[in-house]
Amino acid sequence: MSAIDAAGAIRAQAVPSRYPVNLRLTVPFVPQSFFVTFIVGSERRGTQRLREERARHPVNTWGNLATIVSLWAVFNIAVLFVALVAAQI
């Protein structure tokens, strides 16, 4: 059995997670695609694991800041556009 076959067998046996919100998207950009996931649910990890993951994946990075600022700008532009259209009616 090759490594690919073994990975597929493991995925086939995996039980899907149960989260109220579980969005997983692949955003195709040239020359590579990006994977975006948004999961919302009750916290089930212990405090030790939370500390380890925060050390490996800090929140305060330049990429996170750029993403938040970009999303905030898109949201504000959309709100202003809706307000402009509503004012014209």
In this prediction, residue 19 carries a pLDDT of: 84
Residue 81's φ and ψ, nearest 5 degrees, are -65, -45
Domain ranges of the chain: 3-88
Please check whether residue 25 is in contact with residue 35, taking contact to mean a CB–CB distance below 8 angstroms: yes
Burial of residue 73 (number of CB atoms within 10 Å: 0-12, 13-18, 19+) = exposed
**Alpha-carbon gap, residue 53 to 55, rounded angstroms:** 5
pTM: 0.56
**Per-residue confidence in pLDDT tens, the chain, 89 aa:** 555 555 555 555 666 668 888 899 998 888 889 898 888 999 888 999 999 999 999 999 999 999 999 999 999 999 999 999 999 98
Please check whether residue 62 is in contact with residue 71, taking contact to mean a CB–CB distance below 8 angstroms: no
In this prediction, residue 15 carries a pLDDT of: 66
Among candidates 81, 57, 77, which has minimal Cα distance to 69?
77
